[in-house]
Amino acid sequence: MTGTMPMMDHGAMMDHSAMMGDMDGMMQMMSQMQTHMQTMMGGGMMGAMPMTGTMPMTGTMPMMDHSGMMDMGATVCTRSKPACTRCPVQVDCQGLSQGNPTTYPNSKPKKSIPARNGIMLIIRHGDQLLLEKRPPQGIWGGLYCFPQVESLTEVTDRLQGLGLDETDYQELAGFRHTFSHFHLDIRPLLIEMAAPPPPLLMEADSRLWYNLRHPAEVGLAAATARLLAYPDLQPQRST
């Protein structure tokens, strides 16, 4: 002992200095917070304030030192392991008084989004699949997709509108595709064409016969690309 203070290594001195600097910022923030609360609410209301982590919410205290708040959140009032024993505002912390400081702030509940149904008509002739280009506006705008309806009752009319008389289909494995504002539950139906495609299908500018052996370089919707990878849709090997 030298009569003044114990010796400490350089690293410990730096940690001590950093801690003291953080504490100075916290105490300054606490002083400003108490002064403001007494001015705005008549004093004695600190314990009734809603908490974020182990600290009062900043939305009700515009005069608070935000740098002090940030320092406190980064060094003391951390989300998973708050250092409550050395927190300068622990006496006013609702989370600590309730014994559950790590439950604050509460996570926002996930917004539920609706689900819709979509039946994809995978019309195949040989190694070719019929795709349609979507309008520029709306989901998958300007991309190529399989013809789509919302229910099985619409399938026959949709096929007849394409000049097809086929009524038999094979149902493939479905999946859910999620957009930002809704889920689309996709139900793929594989429809085999025995005869060559009618002229109505061959002449439309918005339609494309996608050759599985020689794929066209066009923009595909994500769900279309996923369906094109199905084993059931791969071209048959020639014998």
Same domain, 119 and 83: no
pLDDT of 12 reads 44
Same domain, 78 and 142: no
Torsions phi, psi of 66, nearest 5? -70, -30
Same domain, 220 and 164: yes
95-123 mean pLDDT? 84
Please report which confidence band the pLDDT of residue 65 belongs to, taking 50, 70 and 90 as the band edges: low
Please report which confidence band the pLDDT of residue 100 belongs to, taking 50, 70 and 90 as the band edges: confident
C-alpha 191/C-alpha 229 separation (Å) is 17
Same domain, 122 and 200: yes
Domain end, chosen from 82, 107, 132, is at 107
Please tell me the least confidently modeled range out of 28-32, 84-88, 142-146, 191-195.
28-32
pLDDT of 201 reads 65
Q: Is residue 169 part of a domain?
A: yes
Same domain, 100 and 179: no
Same domain, 135 and 73: no
pLDDT of 52 reads 44
Name which residue leads in pLDDT, 102 or 28.
Answer: 102
- List of residues 6+ apart from 105 with CB closer than 8 A: 52, 53
132-154 mean pLDDT? 93
Q: Is residue 41 part of a domain?
A: no
Same domain, 151 and 215: yes
Contact 11, 18 (CB under 8 A): no
Domain that holds residue 193: 115-233
C-alpha 45/C-alpha 22 separation (Å) is 26
C-alpha 130/C-alpha 210 separation (Å) is 6
- List of residues 6+ apart from 205 with CB closer than 8 A: none
- Measuring CA to CA, how many Å separate 48 from each of 41, 130, 220? 11, 65, 56
Q: Is residue 40 part of a domain?
A: no
Same domain, 103 and 125: no
Q: Is residue 196 part of a domain?
A: yes
CATH number at 148 reads: 3.90.79.10
127-145 mean pLDDT? 93
pLDDT of 72 reads 75
Predicted TM-score (pTM) of this structure: 0.57
Q: How many domains does the chain have?
A: 2
